[in-house]
Amino acid sequence: MALKAIVAGLLCASAVTIMYSLAPMRPLVMKTVLSYKFLVPEAESLARKTLYYGGLTEAMRGQSLIGTSTITTGFLGTMWAFTFLAASNTMILVIGLAIVVLKVGWQSELFMVDRVFEKTQLAIENPYEEESFAQRLRSFTQPFSHLLEHPFWLIAGAGRIGQKLSSRGNVEAELRDLAGLSKHSGFGMAYYCYGLVAAITHTLIMLSGFLLILKRLQKPSPEGAPLYRITWQTFLIAWCGLLFWWLPGHAMIGEARGVILFFFFFGFMMACDRMLLDQTNEAVRQ
């Protein structure tokens, strides 16, 4: 029964996310689901502040990202394995919907597929001419050249307050933003806010988590821990999601929710590792 409830929640959360991405359905989602304050904490304040600086699109995008991520995190981040095992009928429905989208809606303007292909092709053919992609590339290389001119950034950066004030046109903060650094990656944002040591440390944490997952998956499932393998398979999928969030985006470092989410997930994974190890040792002693 619990798994059926999880499946229902997963479908509802996915439906909200997909409906919001389609322009004709967006007003309906905003007036119904995202109208509940607890799903979008401080949404009105965020929208007002963003609108004050002339960012209408950013205000709408920020509110939708917060709302849909609040809905989907619990289901999509932790329960996908259980839903896959327990809901074969649901999988048939999902596959059927995917076929409908591919057959009917692939060329539709509602899905913006052409825009995705064009942006991807431009990024591959001219990576340094496509500005958004070039910024992401520079965010991994620019810190080292910047450090040669500003050695103090080895251990300290502008801080998150400096980053936020700079984006809002504060003159003092703009003076601190010495090189107009590209920050569109976890590494670039960590360097900008906290310095090179912090950026390398965060990168090593990302790498160590990935290596731990691979190490655990290479081992045979121990006795006494029946969920051992599926647990680490789930962590692998989730960690890949974090990795593809960290590579092209800065929210994991530059936003409080991103920092909290990452270190909560990392700590949760370490706790599960310890729990599975204790279960294995207990089974061996018995």
Neighbour count for residue 152 (Cβ, 10 Å): 9
Assigned token pair, 174: 């703009």
pLDDT tens track for 33-56: 766 665 555 555 555 555 554 444
Assigned token pair, 136: 């992401």
Assigned token pair, 194: 């906290």
- The structural domains of the chain, with segments of one domain joined by +, span 1-107, 131-286
Q: What is the DSSP string of 121-156?
A: HHHHH-TTTSHHHHHHHHHHHHHHHHHHH-GGGGT-
pLDDT grade, residue 4 (50/70/90)?
low
pTM over 0.75: no
pLDDT beyond 80 at 60: no
Assigned token pair, 202: 């965060």
pLDDT of residue 178: 47
pLDDT tens track for 167-196: 444 444 444 444 456 677 777 777 777 778
